[in-house]
Amino acid sequence: MIHEIDARGLACPQPVIMTKKAIEAGEDCVVIVDNEAARDNVCRMAKSQGCEADVEERDGCFRIRVMQGAGRKRKESVVPAAGPTVVVFPCDRMGKGADELGNILVRGFLHTLGEISPRPDVMIFFNAGVKLTTDGSDVLEDLHALEKAGVRLLVCGTCLDFFGLKDKLQAGIISNMYDIAETMLSAGRIVRI
């Protein structure tokens, strides 16, 4: 008999965790959830694990049948672009809209860069992005760890000067537009946050 997981009434991420445990135990299962967000999260996670997920709606609930697929455990390999990977930080936040949120996101992004591969080869900070590298920044610990792992941090000197932060630099090296432009133009790929 197929393992049935009743995740109705449970808050995210509980249904996902329960499903993941079943997948890791090598079981096929049916997960029952009562909202669309949970349905989507469970399906997405199952697919990311190489499983198949079929959804059936019944009485306002969703029954998700999760089956171990042939693709289980197969990881897609990342094809590295020719030339260095450069991440640019034009701002001390990630994205536009809500500043407080953008601050949380950039901190999460830099933490995550230290945990995943491939790492960037170079990170460039300009305009308000330089504030990430100076006194009082929330991400200095992450930047130092990335530097230690061999990532080059170029910080726009003109920008530090503009913000009066030239003597407050705590991570990376002061750089100029020649280095910055050359690095960007010879990059294999540029990631802009």
User: Which of 54, 81, 95, 111 is close enough to bind another protein by CB under 8 A?
Assistant: 111
Q: Comparing C-alpha atoms, which of 109, 144, 107, 126 is closest to residue 184?
A: 126
Residue 95: CB atoms within 10 Å: 12
Distance, in Å, from the CA atom of 38 to the CA atom of 69, rounded to the nearest integer, reads: 21
- Identify which range of 56-64, 74-82, 87-95, 99-107 contacts another protein by CB under 8 A: 99-107
Across the beta sheet with 122-125, the strand order is: 173-175, 152-156, 122-125, 85-89, 189-192
**Range list of H helices, 49-187:** 99-113, 140-148, 157-162, 177-185
User: Which of 59, 76, 115, 167 is close enough to bind another protein by CB under 8 A?
Assistant: 115
Under the binding rule (CB under 8 A), the answer on residue 72 touching another protein is no
Under the binding rule (CB under 8 A), the answer on residue 104 touching another protein is yes
- Identify which range of 68-76, 97-105, 121-129, 166-174 contacts another protein by CB under 8 A: 97-105
- 159's tokens: 């920008």
Over the window 3 to 32, marking each residue x when it contacts another protein by CB under 8 A and - when it does not, the resulting string is --------xxx--xx--x------------
Binding site for another protein (CB under 8 A): 11-13, 16-17, 20, 41, 44-45, 48, 100-101, 104, 107-108, 111-112, 114-115, 138, 141-142, 145
